[in-house]
Structure 1
Amino acid sequence: MSELQPWLNMYPEEIPATLEYTNESVQQYLINAAKDYPNKIAIHFMGKEMTYKELYDSSLKLAGYLQSIGIEKGDRVAIMLPNCPQSVISYYAILMAGGVVVQTNPLYMERELEYQMKDSGSKIIITMDILFPRVTKVMGQTDLQHVIVTAIKDYLPFPKNLIYPFIQKKQYGISVNVKHEGNHHLLTEVLKQSQKSIKEHSVNFEEDLALLQYTGGTTGFPKGVMLTHKNLVANASMCKAWMYKCKEGEEVVLGILPFFHVYGMTTVLILSVMQANKMVLLPKFDPETTLKTIQKQRPTLFPGAPTIYIGLLNHPDIQKYDLSSIDSCISGSAPLPVEVQQKFEEITGGKLVEGYGLTESSPVSHSNFLWDRPRVKGSIGVPWPDTDAGIFSIETGERLPVGEIGEICIKGPQVMKGYWNRPEDTAQTLRDGWLLTGDIGYMDENGYFFVVDRKKDMIIAGGFNIYPREIEEVLYEHPSVQEVVAAGIPDPYRGETVKAYIVLKDGASATEDELNEFARKHLAAYKVPRLYEFRKELPKTAVGKILRRALVDEEKKKLKEDQEKRA
């Protein structure tokens, strides 16, 4: 056992240190599921269900149609959909046709959409009827040649399918009528047509791209992360090995995490199909709808993000719902407060552990153990099978010993091929096979890793290095605090100063003085926030990750405006 990988000593005997991969493409797992479990329910969506055979047949039909309108091997096809049956059908259809999936956030406005379509060179986009006007506005500035349109009502049961268009018009204020003609295509019409012959193509497991997954763009323009079939299959296989008590074909997976976020795509979409599990899809997170869905559909697996679990825990009627079906949850995308973890486990009786990863690692690289091993408070866990990880000096690039703080770096089969058309960025992020995460942390003697903070989020105030996560963990323990984010804002004297943005629980109250007194009991004086701001909500990504950078940018803008007024 390498002393550089002490975590392998912690593995329970059920988890192998290394895995065997079958060299099968991502889409092959749908073919396998349809063959082995044809009548098993693949998708439940707002009352309507679809079997694995139906999912496969629809995907194959759409794949043939994509080829008939010009898609060839390696062409990029965008999906701009919420979690719904059409998003799953489209995903596997694109891969069957030989294309590369480009996941696109349905919340994108024209400018963001145009950038991503131009950067990826996507030829076709599959989207919702209410997003169609937005797409048509950017088509002329991009390589897009065709738009395939679907609607939520297309996969709703009767009478919801008749009622939903009225709800949609009331909610969004628009009603869109798209005709199946020219370069505009209706998915319902496509799937009514007879199966078109499919041109077979071989898949190079290690080299061929399955996905261009765009990073959030919080540090500049979003970059397309090139993920191969091997990257995605390896990461889903690691997840399967980690969750060794889960039974193939028997689990029910709650799909709230959006598929346009790589964490939801791997842990819900790919893993569910790989294991022929049932996906219960929700197009957006709403606490009450989610609680009702859990009680009715009895999911056993619930991958999520901290804000989702916090949103449920703070629902006033949570005790009225039976959440006992939930067995296993791995939280990702942001740090999981210890208090949230403990409360959620008390209410559900299931296990909730923190995991860690990046888009560039497909995404998971570390997790705490769900079973048979004690969890370590505040840790992101240990590296997954076939994954090496280490702490490297930011100054010298040397690997650091146990306990020393540096940059977390990762190596493994789930690490991306590189950034799309960005060789310089790729060279800066991938070095000698190691992925430089940009996260600061350390490893203990047992191989458990701890994230101290993002390299770019570290606050330097009066010469002291301050890590926002430490401040947030303390303030989360205050009984009135629902959400908190700490950030470094410009300060003429200290360089930066700590400001805490607080969302209070419904009906709760707290003053700046109270929070300040609370923080001083648990933090060194230089770490205690100098400023507090109470808000109704915090800016977040679609997956619920709090956008610290957006708050910092707000402060910088205010400062600049103040300076201009004084001048």
Structure 2
Amino acid sequence: MGTPSNRAMNLAHFLTQTARRFGDRDAVVHGDTRWTWRELNDKVSVLAAEMRRRGISSGDCVMLHSPNHPEFIQAMLAVWRVGAALAPTNFRLTAGDVAVIAGVCKPRLLMVHPSLADQVPTITAAADFDCGTMLVDGQGADAIGALTDDGPKLGDQSVTVGQHAWYFFTSGTSGTPKAAVLTHEQMGFVTLNHLCDLMPGTTENDVSLAVAPLSHGAGIHLLPQIARGARTVIPVSQGLDGEEVFSLIEHERVSNLFTVPTILKMLAEHPAAGAHDHSSLRYVIYAGAPMYVADQEHARRVLGEVLVQYYGLGEVTGNITVLPPREHGRARPEGIEFGTCGFPRTGIQISIQDDAGTEVESGVQGEICVAGPAVCHGYLDNPTANAAAFRDGWFRTGDLGMLDAQGYLYVTGRASDMFISGGSNIYPRDIEEKLLLHPSVNEVAVLGMPDPKWGEVGVAVCVPCHGETIDPDELKEFLRGKLASYKLPRQFIIWDELPKSGYGKIVKRTLRTTLLEQGWPPVRPAAGRSIGDGGR
């Protein structure tokens, strides 16, 4: 007799429950579009029925390639309602990038925004897509919007524990992207944990603003809003428009939003922050990359004590630590130049381990490893990646950090960011934090570049504040006495901007490639850019 499969709650059931309780309240706002929970629920059921008619069934994969839009939300919930797995992609990716992702997850149906229609031939050549293509937004035979709300409807289909719900593709890695497998019951825990640790007290009276792509962290942030009946506001602009963001915060009385440090920094520095009432904000949540102390403190001064930081990877669905508003400004241990990312999330265990997998004492740097119900079920069809990512049941983040005596975590760097210069291990974050204390430096990235004498040397690529200029020699002197001599960057390069991913992260891999293409090591400053020798 076989072991029975336990049922899990279908993620779309969050919508079913909320539509029953708050059917006439607004669910999604986008420009002049305002959908109630009942309308959203009906639209999801009609789309799920159309997916079933096209042949999508439990366990199939559906790819969603679109910017933030009401029909993005409709599509993701319909995929779950029919029992399929969602593979959302960042709309800023190239057609070739999306095609590679399609080759990994093998979707049967493509849902794409009309603005990206020119990418369809490249994407559909990478997988069968035997259930066709549907347009997110617009009208026509294959458009979601052409479906009428009074058409055939499909309810929440049965799903079991371990059933795939979301293929969360890792960003910022080299080579073929990996799909972290997120399941219905795992995402149910993540939703509960977000409400417990990030946004306690969230109710149907709250309002969320989606300023980051719903294809990744902002989409996960959406689930707690649906579970509690809090409406979601989607800006009309596809890019970040500070004036629009703060206008929406004021007029919609936005109480929470999810963002990443680069976006939060831009919003806090935008003049609109001082021109609009943002007193409704309760939780401004940021994650995805470390936020430098100088930027963090400025955002606190502008927005008030509403910042909530969390540390987490896609593979742990953002659920490793939390730093609530009351903990911002916590004193740092001696020798640590940057702040904590908080304490372990409810239900999550953190272990700092050495290269052999042995747990180290508090105050000692090692690899951050985690365990708990938020950890993904591994990578899709990738046993090699699974073997590298899991050790003795622990998920290895690849990040370096330490725990203090009270259990607060300090992320000291990314293992892959470390470079070796003259036999010494150098971690860029400490250098970056100190450079950002210079009044003329707005952004910075430090990385190791090839050097025939030292093996690698540190290079600091800096972006000046608006209207400011940066003298590389001045930066070198600014750092003297603040860093050990072997940590001083060999070169200081001044650029107008740093390359960023579609998720707002600084991409050091692109930086390195650009420097090599420009003929590293530099002989003379490129036009419009300055280079200085940091010495050693």
Number of aligned residue pairs: 508
8 Å contact kept, 2:11–2:184: yes
Give the Cα–Cα distance (whole angstroms) in 1 for the partners of residues 515 and 508 of structure 2. Answer: 11
Quick one: structure 1 residues 561 and 372, their matched pair in 2 at CA, closer, same or farther if it must change by over 3 Å? closer
Give the Cα–Cα distance (whole angstroms) in 2 for the partners of residues 80 and 266 of structure 1. Answer: 16
Quick one: structure 1 residues 561 and 461, their matched pair in 2 at CA, closer, same or farther if it must change by over 3 Å? closer
1:23 deviation in Å? Answer: 4.7
Quick one: structure 1 residues 513 and 272, their matched pair in 2 at CA, closer, same or farther if it must change by over 3 Å? same
**Partner AA of 1:121 in structure 2:** K
8 Å contact kept, 1:314–1:505: no
Q: 366, 370, 391: which one pairs with 1:406?
A: 366
Quick one: structure 1 residues 423 and 440, their matched pair in 2 at CA, closer, same or farther if it must change by over 3 Å? same
Give the Cα–Cα distance (whole angstroms) in 1 for the partners of residues 390 and 143 of structure 2. Answer: 41
Task: List runs of 5+ in structure 1 lacking aligned partners.
Answer: 1-21, 155-177
Please give the root-mean-square deviation of Cα atoms over the aligned residues, in Å.
2.1
Deviation per CA, 1:47-79, whole angstroms, max 9, x where unpaired? 421111111111111000000001011000011
User: Per the alignment, in what secondary structure is the counterpart of residue 130 of structure 1?
Assistant: helix
1:311 deviation in Å? Answer: 1.0
Question: What does residue 356 of structure 1 align with?
Answer: 311
Question: What does residue 493 of structure 2 align with?
Answer: 533
Q: How does 1:93-132 map to 2 (within 5 A)?
A: 93-132=78-117
Give the Cα–Cα distance (whole angstroms) in 2 for the partners of residues 462 and 275 of structure 1. Answer: 55
Deviation per CA, 1:252-311, whole angstroms, max 9, x where unpaired? 1111121112x21212x1111111111111343222322222232221112211111111
Q: 294, 312, 333: which one pairs with 1:339?
A: 294
Quick one: structure 1 residues 367 and 376, their matched pair in 2 at CA, closer, same or farther if it must change by over 3 Å? farther
Q: 2, 13, 17: which one pairs with 1:32?
A: 17
Quick one: structure 1 residues 318 and 141, their matched pair in 2 at CA, closer, same or farther if it must change by over 3 Å? closer
Quick one: structure 1 residues 522 and 537, their matched pair in 2 at CA, closer, same or farther if it must change by over 3 Å? same
Give the Cα–Cα distance (whole angstroms) in 1 for the partners of residues 270 and 156 of structure 2. Answer: 50
1:223 deviation in Å? Answer: 0.7
User: Per the alignment, in what secondary structure is the counterpart of residue 456 of structure 1?
Assistant: helix
Question: What does residue 516 of structure 1 align with?
Answer: 476
Question: What does residue 326 of structure 1 align with?
Answer: 281
Q: 265, 268, 271: which one pairs with 1:313?
A: 268
User: Per the alignment, in what secondary structure is the counterpart of residue 125 of structure 2?
Assistant: helix
1:149 deviation in Å? Answer: 0.8
User: Per the alignment, in what secondary structure is the counterpart of residue 488 of structure 1?
Assistant: strand
8 Å contact kept, 1:258–1:543: yes
Deviation per CA, 1:470-501, whole angstroms, max 9, x where unpaired? 11111112222221111111111111111111
User: Per the alignment, in what secondary structure is the counterpart of residue 165 of structure 2?
Assistant: strand
Quick one: structure 1 residues 197 and 40, their matched pair in 2 at CA, closer, same or farther if it must change by over 3 Å? closer
1:179 deviation in Å? Answer: 4.6
1:431 deviation in Å? Answer: 2.2
Deviation per CA, 1:117-175, whole angstroms, max 9, x where unpaired? 12211011111112112113432342113111133xx5xxxxxxxxxxxxxxxxxxxxx
Q: 220, 230, 234: which one pairs with 1:266?
A: 220
Give the Cα–Cα distance (whole angstroms) in 2 for the partners of residues 199 and 45 of structure 1. Answer: 26
**Partner AA of 2:342 in structure 1:** G
Quick one: structure 1 residues 373 and 482, their matched pair in 2 at CA, closer, same or farther if it must change by over 3 Å? closer
Q: 131, 136, 140: which one pairs with 2:121?
A: 136
Structure with greater contact order relative to length (CA < 8 Å, sep ≥ 6): 1
1:315 deviation in Å? Answer: 2.4
Q: Does 1:457 align with 2:417?
A: yes
Quick one: structure 1 residues 494 and 77, their matched pair in 2 at CA, closer, same or farther if it must change by over 3 Å? same
Give the Cα–Cα distance (whole angstroms) in 1 for the partners of residues 361 and 82 of structure 2. Answer: 48
8 Å contact kept, 2:81–2:155: no
1:535 deviation in Å? Answer: 1.5
Question: What does residue 376 of structure 2 align with?
Answer: 416
With normalisation by structure 2, the TM-score equals 0.90
8 Å contact kept, 2:42–2:149: no
Q: 124, 130, 133: which one pairs with 1:147?
A: 133
1:316 deviation in Å? Answer: 4.1
8 Å contact kept, 2:351–2:370: yes
Give the Cα–Cα distance (whole angstroms) in 1 for the partners of residues 150 and 416 of structure 2. Answer: 53
8 Å contact kept, 2:10–2:159: yes
8 Å contact kept, 1:306–1:331: yes
Quick one: structure 1 residues 244 and 260, their matched pair in 2 at CA, closer, same or farther if it must change by over 3 Å? closer
8 Å contact kept, 1:82–1:284: no
Question: What does residue 203 of structure 1 align with?
Answer: 159
User: Per the alignment, in what secondary structure is the counterpart of residue 307 of structure 1?
Assistant: helix
Question: What does residue 345 of structure 2 align with?
Answer: 384
1:317 deviation in Å? Answer: 4.8
Give the Cα–Cα distance (whole angstroms) in 1 for the partners of residues 317 and 327 of structure 2. Answer: 26
Question: What does residue 365 of structure 1 align with?
Answer: 320
Question: What does residue 252 of structure 2 align with?
Answer: 297
**Partner AA of 2:168 in structure 1:** Q
1:390 deviation in Å? Answer: 0.7
Quick one: structure 1 residues 198 and 131, their matched pair in 2 at CA, closer, same or farther if it must change by over 3 Å? same
Deviation per CA, 1:388-417, whole angstroms, max 9, x where unpaired? 0110001x2111111111100000101010
Aligned residues with identical type, % of pairs: 29
Q: 44, 51, 63: which one pairs with 1:66?
A: 51
1:422 deviation in Å? Answer: 0.4
Deviation per CA, 1:432-489, whole angstroms, max 9, x where unpaired? 3210000011111000111111111012111222111111111112222221111111
Question: What does residue 67 of structure 2 align with?
Answer: 82
Question: What does residue 175 of structure 2 align with?
Answer: 220
8 Å contact kept, 1:40–1:51: yes
Question: What does residue 4 of structure 2 align with?
Answer: none
Give the Cα–Cα distance (whole angstroms) in 1 for the partners of residues 186 and 522 of structure 2. Answer: 48
1:251 deviation in Å? Answer: 1.3
Give the Cα–Cα distance (whole angstroms) in 2 for the partners of residues 199 and 317 of structure 1. Answer: 44
Quick one: structure 1 residues 137 and 429, their matched pair in 2 at CA, closer, same or farther if it must change by over 3 Å? closer
User: Per the alignment, in what secondary structure is the counterpart of residue 27 of structure 2?
Assistant: strand
Q: How does 1:408-487 map to 2 (within 5 A)?
A: 408-487=368-447
Quick one: structure 1 residues 421 and 245, their matched pair in 2 at CA, closer, same or farther if it must change by over 3 Å? closer
**Partner AA of 2:268 in structure 1:** L
**Partner AA of 1:547 in structure 2:** V
1:329 deviation in Å? Answer: 1.8
Question: What does residue 229 of structure 2 align with?
Answer: 276
With normalisation by structure 1, the TM-score equals 0.85
Give the Cα–Cα distance (whole angstroms) in 1 for the partners of residues 152 and 375 of structure 2. Answer: 36
8 Å contact kept, 1:354–1:379: no
1:193 deviation in Å? Answer: 6.4
Give the Cα–Cα distance (whole angstroms) in 1 for the partners of residues 329 and 522 of structure 2. Answer: 52
User: Per the alignment, in what secondary structure is the counterpart of residue 279 of structure 2?
Assistant: coil
Give the Cα–Cα distance (whole angstroms) in 1 for the partners of residues 251 and 111 of structure 2. Answer: 31
Quick one: structure 1 residues 375 and 143, their matched pair in 2 at CA, closer, same or farther if it must change by over 3 Å? farther
8 Å contact kept, 2:45–2:155: no
